[in-house]
Amino acid sequence: MQSLANSGVFWGLLIAGIIAVYLLPTIVGLIRGVDRLGLVVLLNLLGWMVWPAALILAFGPRRLPPPAPAPAAVYPPLYPYPWPEYGPADSPIPGPWYPQERPR
C-alpha cells in the first residue's frame, strides 16, 4: 500500500478524478446544452456548498433550437412549356433568341 501512496501516477489520477467530479455539473451542462450554462459554471466555481444546485441546474431545461427558416416561395414557371430554340412561330421578333448556332 505504501508503494501505491508513493506513486506519482496514482496521485495524478486521483487529482484528475476529483477535478472531473467537481466539474461534473459544467460537463453535463455543456453536453446537454442547458439554457443557463453561465449560471451553472458560476455556481460550480463558487464551491462545494452550491455544487448540488449547479448539478440540478445542469439537468435543467435545454436551449431551444433556432426555428427552421421559412421555405422559399415557389413560383410557377414563366411559360408552361419550353419554346423552340428560335422562339415561337408567330413571334414578331425574327432571329435567334439565343446566341448559339442553329443545329443542322
What are the pLDDT tens digits along the chain (104 aa)? Answer: 778 778 888 899 999 999 999 999 999 999 998 888 899 999 988 888 898 999 998 998 887 778 888 888 777 666 555 555 555 555 555 555 555 555 55
Question: Structural domain tally of the chain?
Answer: 1
In a domain, 18, yes or no: yes
In a domain, 39, yes or no: yes
The residue segments making up the domain with residue 25 are 2-58
In a domain, 36, yes or no: yes
In a domain, 11, yes or no: yes
Determine contact, residues 7/35, Cβ cutoff 8 Å: no
Q: Where are the alpha helices (DSSP H) in 23-97?
A: 24-32, 37-46, 51-58
Give the closest residue to 43 by CA, choosing from 58, 61, 33.
58
In a domain, 90, yes or no: no
Can you give the pTM of this predicted structure? 0.54
Distance CA 50, CA 36 (A): 15
Distance CA 39, CA 50 (A): 11
In a domain, 100, yes or no: no
